Amino acid sequence: MDIFKTKTALRATLTKYKKEHKTIGFVPTMGALHDGHLSLVRKSKEENDITVVSIFVNPTQFDNKKDLEKYPKTFNKDCNLLESVGCDILYYPTTQDIYEGELAAEKFSFNGLEFQMEGKHREGHFDGVGTIVKKLFKITEPNKAYFGRKRFQQLQIVKQLVNQEKIPVTIKGQPILREKDGLAMSSRNARLTREHREIAPLIYKTLQEVQQRFPYETIQNLNQWVQEVFEKEPLLQLEYFCIADTSNLQTVQKKELHQKYRAFIAVFAGDIRLIDNISLQ
């Protein structure tokens, strides 16, 4: 695996591969890798000649500085994991290499997608996401890029970004990977206390119950039931739960025929914020 710390050197190598008509798959990450990330790398390896992974903790998408400071950094372990699945290239830039002295997010409009769910609770988050993804796509110019569905809203926004900016890349959303007890894999899981880790699977169990009840219960009843579940569990604090139209991510209160819906949830386990979602079809 080749490791590049500057975009200039990375571009030179990728240009050489493109002249050889090789396809490029790209997996952007913030490091602290787990099996969910590795599944994206494996998929890219299946579908492309060259797979590039980036590790960059992007400061402009954090609305909470403490969260940024505490974000786990496990570079040596990450390198070993990437090599174990055959990653070809790792891009590990500095903030200077990415932002060139102007540490600011571009302002975006994503047809309202940015104001739903995460956007209501993390001011400016999706401007930061849009900024870094646009920059990374410009640097790597991949044929395909891979994102997990755990951050489903981010996935939809990246698709909107690519459409708006006319970036010639195919976005591939991949299934959520879970621990044996159902907890969605996340870099943040390693920071959970033992007590919080033991109770955290309640998040997915609640979503599964919503999925089972959805065909025959009203959305209002499901919203109330989820509230009650977490009111009874003092170790977990519900930030939000909603059922949204998959096409525009707008929260819905009434079901309509032929529409596709998804349930979204964000929960605090102590000061660790965990998110998850599930299809209701």
134/41 Cα distance (integer angstroms): 20
Contact 40, 148 (CB under 8 A): yes
**Which strands sit side by side in the sheet containing 261-269, from one edge to the other?**
236-245, 261-269, 272-279
Query: Which position among 34, 37, 125, 196 bears the catalytic label?
Result: 37
Two tokens at 12? 């030179």
Residue 21 among the catalytic residues:
no
Please write down the HEC assignment for all residues of the chain: CEEECCHHHHHHHHHHHHHCCCCEEEEEECCCCCHHHHHHHHHHHHHCCEEEEEECCCHHHCCCHHHHHHCCCCHHHHHHHHHHCCCCEEECCCHHHHHCCCCCCCCCCCCCHHHCCHHHHCCCHHHHHHHHHHHHHHHHCCCEEEEEHHHHHHHHHHHHHHHHHCCCCEEEEECCCECCCCCECCHHHHHCCHHHHHHCCHHHHHHHHHHHHCCCCCHHHHHHHHHHHHHCCCCEEEEEEEEEECCCCCECCCCCCCCCEEEEEEEEECCEEEEEEEECC
Q: What are the Cα distances from residue 33, in Å, to 36, 60, 76, 187, 194?
A: 8, 20, 11, 7, 20
Q: Which residues are known to be catalytic?
A: 37
